[in-house]
Amino acid sequence: MPVEVAKVEIKNVRDASGVADVIAAGQFGADEVVAVIGKTEGNGGVNDFTRILADQAFRAVLADNGSRSMDDIERIPMVWSGGCDGLITPHATVFAQTTGDGAGSGESRLVIGTAMSDTIAPEDIGRPAMVDTVAEGVRRAMADAGITDRADVHYVQTKTPLLTVETIADARDRGHTVFTEDTLESMGVSNGTTGLGIAVALGEIDMPAAEAICRDFDLYSAVASCSSGVELDRAQIVLFGNRAGAGGRFRIGHSVMDDALDIDGIYDGIRNAGLQLPERPRAADLGGRLVNCFIKCEADRRATLRGRRQIMLDDSDVHHHRHSKAAVGAVAATAIGDPAVFVSVDAMHQGPHGGGPVIAIVELGD
């Protein structure tokens, strides 16, 4: 079943007209949509309600334009990353599995697999038990995508639980401690632990020691993009890779940004997806064939960038997440010529320290 991909703008916090327009134009049907990954304009924090509003709007469009039950629609993975700091445009990338026959082509093309992990207890967040649970879920998603070679996996997008006042109290009542009692910090801890689980599943690292989790930043996955929220108690996993004979027009690739200024890392990810680019590319060289880039970033904890002092970690007025997201968003928008680019923070164990993974989806033709 070939995969179709469309990037649509979100014009207000309740808007899903873009996906409705794509469905009306016949690119894919509402019943063929299998995943959505988007940026919303809220604060990106624990209480960012714009993610919920976008989720409701997109699911309502699928219900209004298709025949699936609401129970089925509610099970479609939709990963919303809050915060469009700087010049990032709110948008969503919509993925559909169409009814076309992809068996006739031997070319390697985009495939998708999804899975839900086993339950993640609050006391497991930030600890080896969560690494194991996520790794097993990633293996299920690989099998769902029909991918047997881990090198063919280029992007693993997850949503996992974070800690809340209620879940911390629940763990304490059952005689357990938690990694942190700071709910905002727990977002990064959940993301980082998930990144290690992805890295273990794909053979990028060995199983880390407990003391290395969220501390040893030399351990990371180059294809992980992890998000967390209060709305679930397990890992929701959407895995993307290439498989020969899958059919369709799209291919995926990845690289890493070594730091926040590494524009070459973005172009390397696009090249890895299959586009031929000159040695010193610019946005015009993409020829309209790039669908989107998905990038993780965060402030370098050493407070330096290419030998220069950085102050974002000491800014008491603006959180360093917002600094780094805005900065990397500007670099990415310059690289691709489009401010509708997916840039997400909390990149612990996702890409090198101070940098992050870059995933690119391109259209190559049938």
The verdict on whether 11 is a catalytic residue reads no
| Helices and strands in the chain: count of H runs, count of E runs | 8, 14
The verdict on whether 227 is a catalytic residue reads yes
Amino acid at residue number 41: E
CA–CA distance, 301 with 360 (Å, rounded to integer) = 26
Active-site residue, from 7, 159, 296, 325: 159
Continuous segment of H or E residues that includes residue 118: strand 108-119
Q: Across the strands, what pairs with 295? A: 343, 358
Indicate the burial class of 192 (C-beta count within 10 angstroms; 0-12, 13-18, 19 or more): buried
CA–CA distance, 211 with 127 (Å, rounded to integer) = 9
Q: Which two tokens stand for residue 272?
A: 């890895």
Contact 144, 91 (CB under 8 A): no
Contact 241, 344 (CB under 8 A): no
Residue partners of 289: CB distance under 8 A and separation at least 6: 275, 362, 363, 364
CA–CA distance, 259 with 352 (Å, rounded to integer) = 8
- DSSP 8-state assignment for residue 206: P
Contact 82, 44 (CB under 8 A): yes
Q: What is the CA radius of gyration of the chain?
A: 19
Active-site residue, from 81, 117, 221, 227: 227
User: Edge to edge, what strands does the sheet with 78-82 contain?
Assistant: 3-9, 91-97, 33-40, 78-82
Q: Which two tokens stand for residue 269?
A: 């990810």
Q: Residues for the chain: how many in total?
A: 366
Closest of 349, 355, 351, 356 to residue 196, by C-alpha: 349
Which residues are the active-site residues? 159, 227
